[in-house]
Amino acid sequence: MKVMFIGAAHEVTGSCTLLETCGKRFLIDCGMEQGENIYENCDLPVAPCEIDAIFLTHAHIDHSGRIPQMVANGFSGPVYMTGATAKLAGIMLRDSAHIQESEAQWRNRKAKRSGEEEYIPLYTSNDVEKTLPLFISHRYGEVFTPAKGVKVSLHDAGHLLGSSYILFEITEDGVTKSILFSGDIGNINRPLIRTPSKPPHADYAVCESTYGDRLHGKDPDYVGQLASVIGSTLAKGGNVVIPSFAVGRTQEILYLIRIIKENNLCPEAGNFPVYVDSPLGIEATHIYSGEVSEFFDDETREILSKGINPISFPNLRTAITSAESTAINTNTEPKVIISASGMCEAGRIRHHLKHNLWREESTILFAGYQSEGTLGRKLIEGAEYVKIFGDEIKVKSRIAIIDGFSSHGDRNMLLQWLKNVNPDMIFINHGEDGVANEFSLTAERETGKPAYAPFSGDVYDLATGECLEKAIVKKLLSKKNFATKKAKGEYERLRGAGYRLIKLIENCKGMPNKELAKLADQITNLCDKWEK
Ligand SMILES: [Zn+2]
């Protein structure tokens, strides 16, 4: 039984860990890397078709985004998660494929003109449609057995609707050990979702560290902060632009605005219009409005039981088409605009920033974590000028942040989580380089248990706790070259196809000789063609 750290090692995105036990290989999360890359991630040591199952902690793309790529490259096993995660991951992965296909189209138009090689998307909508039937849902607390000797259960992580910590209890060669993967640990007092559940005990804990160096402060008043920004900005004739993750954060903000409107907390702004300008955000809002009520907290379920939609209110408008999106900026009425992406790296939010950053009377209101190297991070760090669509724009608008409005627990909550798990050994991942190191020292000091922040490629034996392999750390000096990344993606696909062929050959044993000869001829022809 061993664990290999692959992604989100000294980084915040690209979560992926390999667990090998009882003759099986499992991945815990398989996320996309986003923003700036500091370290080169190691390759999966096996082909996608040799992975037996994937376990998904929650739907966010940095945890789920590469699952369709695994399927495109030969993975065909089950993907375990909660019901709400399955619903949300479904729309997020379809959206992710759509973004990649559009990007490929755009790049290929450019490539054609300059005679460059054709650009192939990481995966397509078709790959996502092959992925979704592999999803298998389990309820919180239910124990299931994905393989002999392996018991698994999901526990509410309070980070995003359906998010889980995943506990593995494994017995191999007479040794029983348990390991708990935190996924992302939620914050307390969040709208809509429950406070993170008390985690079960495990011998090993793999704990995230996004906010491992920060405290959120005491009981932040989200409604009060939001009402004050909306009231003061709209009274001046400006817009409040909220860059927001389409799934989760957008619905939480709608929940808060419903309270503001119901209680008339912004009288100066009247019946102000609120636009959700994100097709994915609108789709997620539909899911939140109906199909996942068992995952909500008590307060939200009580509101629902009275027949009230907790995330809807008068003058809530949506923009699905790009014409509807453009129209938001041609109309001068002061308004609140909620749009994606949350870190301003892509999507329609960039148009709204372009139209509002130069306006003194507008406010850009951040309501979430901004990764290093993103436009969002530059703005909260006080950039005077930023570039959007090639144009330099002077930042004159107010830049505000809702304090403590995070879907991640702070340092003390992470420590409390570790104390509750009470493991013999701790692994810290999913944090920026310095933060992961610092939090592993804090965790060791506060719990008295050994804690490590493994790098991509580190392997640990879970029977003994020994480190079996220390990775050679490759630090990337500049932002990862896009072309190299793509080339590697295609090579991985080829390698996956090769392994799939070997598996196919193994399954052909016992077939009629005529069939075997036909396949052998076809493979030989293929080799002859490519060896030339
Ligand atoms: Zn997350």
The number of angstroms, rounded, from the C-alpha of 421 to the middle of its chain's C-alpha atoms is 24
Lowest mean per-residue pLDDT among 105-109, 114-118, 419-423, 441-445: 114-118
Q: Is the pLDDT of residue 322 over 50?
A: yes
Q: Is the pLDDT of residue 506 over 60?
A: yes
- CA 149 to ligand 1 centroid distance, Å: 29
What is the token pair recorded at 307? 């027949």
The number of angstroms, rounded, from the C-alpha of 294 to the middle of its chain's C-alpha atoms is 22
Q: Is the pLDDT of residue 492 over 80?
A: no
Q: What is the pLDDT of residue 370?
A: 85
Q: Is the pLDDT of residue 15 over 90?
A: yes
Q: What is the pLDDT of residue 498?
A: 84
H or E segment to which residue 53 belongs: strand 53-55
As to burial, measured by CB atoms within 10 angstroms (0-12 exposed, 13-18 middle, 19+ buried), residue 106 is exposed
The position carrying tokens 């405290």 is 215
Greatest mean pLDDT range, 100-109, 174-183, 300-309: 174-183
* pLDDT single digits (tens) 380-428: 999 999 999 999 999 999 999 997 788 999 999 999 999 999 999 999 9
* Confidence band of 35 (pLDDT split at 50, 70, 90): low
Select from 23, 400, 37, 473 the least CA-distant residue to 239.
400
Q: Is the pLDDT of residue 479 over 60?
A: no
Edge-to-edge strand ranges of the sheet holding 240-243: 316-318, 274-277, 336-339, 240-243, 363-366, 398-401
Q: Is the pLDDT of residue 285 over 80?
A: yes
- CA 60 to ligand 1 centroid distance, Å: 5
Peptide bond into 278 cis (omega under 30): no
Q: Which residues pair with 364 in a beta bridge?
A: 241, 399
- CA 70 to ligand 1 centroid distance, Å: 20
CA pair distance 164, 354, nearest whole angstrom:
37
Select from 265, 254, 194, 193 the least CA-distant residue to 227.
265
HEC profile for 251-316?
Answer: HHHHHHHHHHHHCCCCHHHCCCCEEEECHHHHHHHHHHHHCCHHHECHHHHHHHHCCCCCCCCCCE
- CA 23 to ligand 1 centroid distance, Å: 30
Q: What is the pLDDT of residue 486?
A: 52
Q: Is the pLDDT of residue 38 over 80?
A: no
* pLDDT single digits (tens) 328-387: 999 999 999 999 988 898 889 999 999 999 999 999 999 988 887 889 999 999 999 999
- CA 255 to ligand 1 centroid distance, Å: 19
- CA 263 to ligand 1 centroid distance, Å: 31
**Are the C-beta atoms of 455 and 9 separated by less than 8 Å?**
yes
Q: What is the pLDDT of residue 480?
A: 46
Q: Which residues pair with 193 in a beta bridge?
A: 296
Which phi and psi angles does 37 have, rounded to 5°?
-105, 130
Amino acid at 111: A
Tell me the three state secondary structure of residue 8.
coil
- CA 211 to ligand 1 centroid distance, Å: 12
**Distant-in-sequence, close-in-space partners of 417: CB < 8 Å, separation ≥ 6:** 182, 185, 196, 199, 207, 409
- CA 464 to ligand 1 centroid distance, Å: 31
Q: What is the pLDDT of residue 358?
A: 97
* pLDDT single digits (tens) 125-147: 999 999 999 999 999 999 999 99
Count Cβ atoms below 10 Å from residue 513 Cβ, excluding itself: 7
- CA 159 to ligand 1 centroid distance, Å: 7
**Are the C-beta atoms of 462 and 3 separated by less than 8 Å?**
yes
Lowest mean per-residue pLDDT among 13-17, 167-171, 238-242, 352-356: 13-17
- CA 13 to ligand 1 centroid distance, Å: 9
- CA 129 to ligand 1 centroid distance, Å: 23
Q: What is the pLDDT of residue 481?
A: 41
Name the CA dihedral angle for 501, 504, 509, 510, rounded to a multiple of 10 degrees.
-130
Check residue 373 and give left, alpha or beta (phi > 0: left; psi -120 to 50: alpha). left
- CA 15 to ligand 1 centroid distance, Å: 10
Count Cβ atoms below 10 Å from residue 416 Cβ, excluding itself: 16
Task: Compute the mean pLDDT over every residue in the chain, rounded to the nearest whole number.
Answer: 91
The position carrying tokens 């192939």 is 120
- CA 234 to ligand 1 centroid distance, Å: 32
What is the token pair recorded at 429? 């991942």
* Confidence band of 20 (pLDDT split at 50, 70, 90): very high
Select from 449, 485, 15, 527 the least CA-distant residue to 201.
449
- CA 515 to ligand 1 centroid distance, Å: 48
- CA 428 to ligand 1 centroid distance, Å: 16
Q: What is the mean pLDDT of residues 461-471?
A: 93
* pLDDT single digits (tens) 293-306: 889 999 999 999 99
- CA 326 to ligand 1 centroid distance, Å: 30
Q: Is the pLDDT of residue 225 over 90?
A: yes
